Structure 1
Amino acid sequence: MADSQTASQHPPSAQEIRDALADNPKTRSRDLATQLGITEAQLLAAQTGHGVTRIAAHPDKVMPAVEALGEVMALTRVEAAVHEKVGTYANYHPGPHAAMVLADEIDLRIFPKHWCHGFLVEQESDAGVKRSLQIFDAAGDAIHKVHLRAGSDLAGWEAAKAALASGETGDTLDLEPRQPTEAAKSDPAKLDVLRKEWARLTDTHQFLRLCAKLKMNRLGAYRIAGAPFVRQLEPSAVDTMLETVRDRETEIMLFVGNRGCIQIHSGPVRNLHPMGPWQNIMDPGFNLHLRRDKVAELWAVEKPTQRGTAISVEAFDAEGGLIFQCFGVGKEGNDHRPAWKEIVEALPSREEVSA
């Protein structure tokens, strides 16, 4: 990812960006932005009035318009993973700090304060016009994208342009410095309190509040908690986990999220296609593209709940950023999932790494 602070020192002009786009029509937007030393959001802003419309980015405005688009592809990513789901947006629940989309296929947790810059994009391609709605944070990094498909509602698209257009015509973008990933934060002096309170959890959502209270974060707590709460796994166990889930037809919930949006797939994994450093799930309606070489730490985690023990496998990058979380899908009202538990227990530990 290009650093927005560096990019802001000697950025190319909007015309230079448009010239680079014309000279590199086959280059992916994300890759071209990196080559130019700018963010994806700046690349789009430079095209304002040239197939790009600036829009109001708040999810309370965006979601009603997206619901009218019919079947689309929802995309949420972090540096090491791209999560794509095909479906229809519905059942939006607003909230000042956290909002949700709870549709059959599209399952999102949204943090509105990070929905800062928005664009409706119409790009000519060999297959015709490609249309997308793209949301970015204050630093210009992608938060969430909605890509129209062949069966999407074009009348809904035109209505979205009318409803969301901000009227801004500028082709540059004022960005804030990117906030660095928070490194693992532990406090071994509070280990006894951490373990005691962890054992008393009744809901997985209480865990981050416990970490905040103890001035730790998720990865920092994992590094010191020890058994029976956590077990560090070999990073290569990512493949083993996905292959076993596929082979045993075990349904999972797979979360990928950034500061502004978490996207969730619930269901089976059927088609794995590794390619170089990438492991790819290529299923109808769900794709995951995971950079296995970016998985620096992998943890098996157990949290008690009122509905049974919730077991997850969680991957982190070298900076301490969360790449994905994976849970088993159990019966309604029960977090204890024996088939998933068996899979996780068989994954190899990373014994040589000390807490």
Structure 2
Amino acid sequence: MPQYSPAELRRLKRESKQRAFDLAAELGVSEGALVAAEVGHGATRIDATLGRLIPAVETLGEVMALTRNRSCVIEKVGTYGEFHDGDHAAMTLTDEIDLRMFPRYFRHAFSVETENDHGISRSIQVFDATGSAIHKVHLRANSNLEAYEALKRDLALDDQSDEIAFEPAAEVEGAKSALDRVDTLREEWARMSDTHQFNTLVRRLKMNRLGAYRIAGAPHVRPLDVSAVQAMFDRMLADGLRTMLFVGNQGCIEIHSGPIHSLNPMGPWINVMDPRFNLHLRGDHVAEVWAVDKPTKRGPAISVEAFDAEGALIFQAFTQRAEKGGDPDAWAQMVADLPVLAEAAE
């Protein structure tokens, strides 16, 4: 990885018109390194412990919550609340800000202030040990600035160095299958009563999500053509389907629940640009799409799931529950209508 001093990174950042994620990739450094370089120049290192950080974020009022992976960005406007801490997993559960967070990945956090044409933008940005962005909170015009100043003061670390020894990023784990255990996979899949049992099942069988999908077969999974992603969003918009879209990374998953009201394609991007919900998806990154059917006590949980060429999960889409306004039957029919992978249809 190239070595740049914090001063060099600050200069390169100011000379560039790229977003930090893209500039970091071009320079061969982590996004976290770009932010760390700003410590003392608009950024402050703060405590990343969820039990301190999220309650402080709750005091900010209305903000924009952003979570991303390499291929998809989700942005939701709302207020943080209903925080449930935990050693292995934590949650924020409001109607608009719905997060699943995994504390061991919340390693480095910063309050960040940046001057732009509209004044000063303020954000809270969290990174994992490799400097990959886990979650960001962007203040809005009506956010509570006094609470932000209190957060910055109360959570500031003693160590305000502008250099951090980030760990090398690990390669994406590709699909892991175990053909000798496929019968067990299918039998136990059919007996599931909750979607959360799936992860436990595949781990016990020494597989992972994508590896299991590749060998499970009908009626559990159906391979779809990559065009199914655009077709799904088109139908969601046209039919007003109330869905749950899960987008995230290893440290944080952000969920949109409800319909979408716009689709704005731009080059390879599929964009939802609703007033309080934005989604930016690189359609050209989608390499595999699966329709997945998992049994639960409430009935089948049918999802559409997209993966990139390296096997990383990009997003998952489910229907909202009927009691939340969803239409499981309409969702199931929409998924059944999506284009199947040509090889599977032969």
| Same fold, TM-score > 0.5, yes or no | yes
Contact 1:256 1:324 in 2 (8 A): yes
- TM score, norm. by length of structure 1: 0.95
Write the letter of the residue equivalent to 1:210.
L
Mapped to 2, the partners of 1:227 and 1:22 lie a distance apart of 53
1:1-355 mapped onto 2 (5 Å cutoff): 6=1, 10-24=2-16, 26-332=17-323, 337-352=328-343
Task: Report the 3-state secondary structure (helix = DSSP H, G, I; strand = E; otherwise coil) of the residue aligned with 1:287.
Answer: strand
- Contact persistence 2:261–2:274 (CA under 8 A): yes
Greater Cα offset, 162-171 or 263-272: 162-171
Quick one: structure 1 residues 119 and 333, their matched pair in 2 at CA, closer, same or farther if it must change by over 3 Å?
A: closer
How many equivalent pairs are there?
A: 345
The equivalent of 1:3 in structure 2 is none
CA contact (8 A) 2:63 2:138 kept: yes
Shift of residue 16 of structure 1? 1.1
Query: Match for 1:18: what amino acid?
Result: R
- RMSD over aligned CA atoms reads 1.5
Aligned residue type for 1:14:
P
- Cα separation, 1, equivalents of 2:311 and 2:251: 18
Q: Is the 8 A contact 2:125 2:135 kept in 1?
A: yes
Consecutive unaligned residues in structure 2, runs of 5 or more: none
- Cα gap change, 1:333 to 1:12, in 2 (>3 Å): closer
Distance 1:155 1:210, change over 3 A: same
For residues 324 and 57 of structure 2, what CA distance do their matches in structure 1 show? 31
Distance (whole Å) between structure 1 residues aligned to residue 99 and residue 299 of structure 2? 24
Distance 1:77 1:160, change over 3 A: same
Contact 2:66 2:136 in 1 (8 A): yes
CA contact (8 A) 2:244 2:257 kept: yes
Displacement of 1:326:
0.1
Which AA in structure 2 matches 1:337?
A: P
Report the CA distance shift for 1:268/1:151 in structure 2 as closer, same or farther (over 3 A): same
Give the TM-score of the pair, scaled to structure 2. Answer: 0.97
Match of 1:241, SS? helix
Deviations 1:221-246 (A, max 9, x none): 10001110000000111011111111
1:261 CA displacement: 0.2
- Alignment check: 8 A CA contact 1:232 1:351 kept: no
Shift of the alpha carbon at 1:333? 8.9
**Amino acid across the alignment from 1:16:** E
Deviations 1:305-352 (A, max 9, x none): 000000000000011100000001122399981010010000011031
Contact 2:287 2:307 in 1 (8 A): yes
3-state SS of paired residue (2:200): helix
Q: Following TM superposition, by how much is the alpha carbon of 1:63 offset from its aligned partner in structure 2, in angstroms?
A: 0.4
Q: Give the CA deviation at 1:269.
A: 1.0
Counting aligned pairs with the same residue, the percent is 56
Residues 30 and 333 (structure 1), Cα distance of their counterparts in 2 relative to 1, 3 Å cut: closer
